[in-house]
Amino acid sequence: MSSPLTKRALLLGTATALLLSAAHLPAQAQGRAKDTLVIGMTLEPPGLDPTAGAASAIAEVVLYNVFETLTKIGADGRPQPLLAERWEVSPDLKTFTFKLRRGLKFHNGEPLDAAAVKFSFERAAGEKSTNKDKRLFSNIAFIGTPEADTVVIGLKTIEPDFLFLIGQATAIIVEPKSAASNATQPVGSGPYRLEHWAKGASITLARWDGHRNAAAVKTRRVSFRFISEPAAQVAALLAGDVDAFPRVAAARSLAQFKADKRFQVIVAGSRAKTILAINNKKKPLDDVRVRRAIAAAIDRKAIIEAAADGFGVPIGSHYVPGALGYVDTTGLNPYNPDKARALLKEAGVALPLELTLKLPPPPMRARAAKPSCPAGPGGYPRQD
């Protein structure tokens, strides 16, 4: 958000990221730089503390804007310096020494130093932590703070992705005194502060002039407007009511935007992934043959076409293309309805198999239900 938009743009992610952005043409015609931005969002975040909730909408608002991390994930997926200006890694790949930028501070004036980093990571690993990446922080053996601008982190086991992972929203550095109220009154160190939250309508961030790079932040105010219906999203973009729309549900209107010179269409990759989680404590899902049958009965490519308009790639594990150490395992259990039926017969499960499927929040639910319902071979899961 450091520079104004000069052209409406549409960005589609090859996994789940989808962004439309626009700039009001009258402002351009008058030769004035645009210093405010309206961003559309499909879902409203349940809170603004990404260490307390798993919703991706939280990070879409606050990551690198309100809160900052030691590293920042670049457009190429590589970690870059942010709060930490440099780091060193020990030969055994278990110890990381970070040098923080000098003079860092939080919105409330408190210093952002090594003690704040130590507090943040120990809080994320704590007994009461609800951080979705708690396992990452539980792998930390020790955190040393030899100087106010030096943090030494030792890991119990090697984590090749550590520098990437601490650039995610779950690894934000929080101010100890205000951490408990970050969900509604976030205090970070980023270039923006929360100005107003109109529940159900919008969130507005205002530029924080106390930021170390405040002079480079050209966008004075950013509003996130919540628009859940795909048709309304398209209408808002065409009317110029929003300037950008991450993960917009407008892929089926792509041709219309490509033909409109006011918009730029960009396709980008993402590490986001959608999985089908199975409760193996419930019968008949406690039988591995049934779980394997369900996996064999799912046509991943068909689901991507139906639910994501083709913007995605099948994966065979929790790793995605572009991640360190990625191996394509989609061939280990490919789509095979005959195999699925045989496994169910072997397990003594009669068709049709009826299961309960819990879907993502609306409006994703309606689109996700169609390709997901026939996933169980011969059966149609109920929607909750």
Q: Is 50 exceeded by the pLDDT of residue 371? A: no
The answer to the question of residue 50 being in a domain is: no
Lowest mean pLDDT among 55-64, 97-106, 311-320: 311-320
**Full domain range(s) for residue 375:** 288-383
Q: What is the spatial distance between Cα 143 and Cα 309, in angstroms, rounded to a whole number? A: 45
What's the average model confidence in pLDDT over 126-141? 95
CA-CA distance, 18 to 277, in Å (whole number)?
24
Distance CA 152, CA 141 (A): 11
Q: What are the distances in angstroms from CA 55 to CA 43, 241, 338? A: 9, 25, 37
Look at strands 244-246 and 18-21 and give their pairing.
antiparallel
Where helices occur in the chain by DSSP H, the ranges are 25-29, 56-62, 114-125, 134-138, 162-165, 230-239, 254-258, 288-297, 300-308, 337-346, 364-372
Residue-wise pLDDT for 157-191, tens only, equals 999 999 999 999 999 999 999 999 999 999 999 99
Least confident window among 35-39, 137-141, 317-321: 317-321
Of 203, 191, 225, 221, the closest CA to residue 35 belongs to: 221
Which residues 6+ apart lie within 8 Å of 180 measured at CB? none
Instruction: Give the domain-ending residue among 268, 301, 332.
Output: 268
Distance CA 207, CA 195 (A): 9
Check whether residue 165 and residue 211 sit in a common domain.
no
**Distances from the Cα of 118 to the Cαs of 134, 144, 148, 151, 306, in angstroms?**
15, 8, 11, 8, 45
pLDDT above 60: residue 375: no
Residue 197, domain CATH: 3.40.190.10
Same domain for 110 and 38: no
CATH code for the domain in which residue 311 is found: 3.10.105.10
pTM of the predicted structure, to 2 decimals:
0.78
How confident is the model over 327-345, as a mean pLDDT? 92
Does 282 have pLDDT greater than 80?
yes
Residue 53 lies inside a defined structural domain of this protein: no
Which residues have a Cβ under 8 Å from the Cβ of 317 and sit 6 or more positions away? 327, 329
**Partners of residue 194 on adjacent β-strands:** 205
| Number of domains the chain contains | 3
The values of phi and psi at residue 89, to 5°, are -120, 135
- Cβ-based burial of 209 (10 A; exposed 0-12, middle 13-18, buried ≥19): exposed
Q: With 50 as the cut, is the pLDDT of residue 227 above it?
A: yes
- pLDDT at 308 exceeding the cut of 90: no
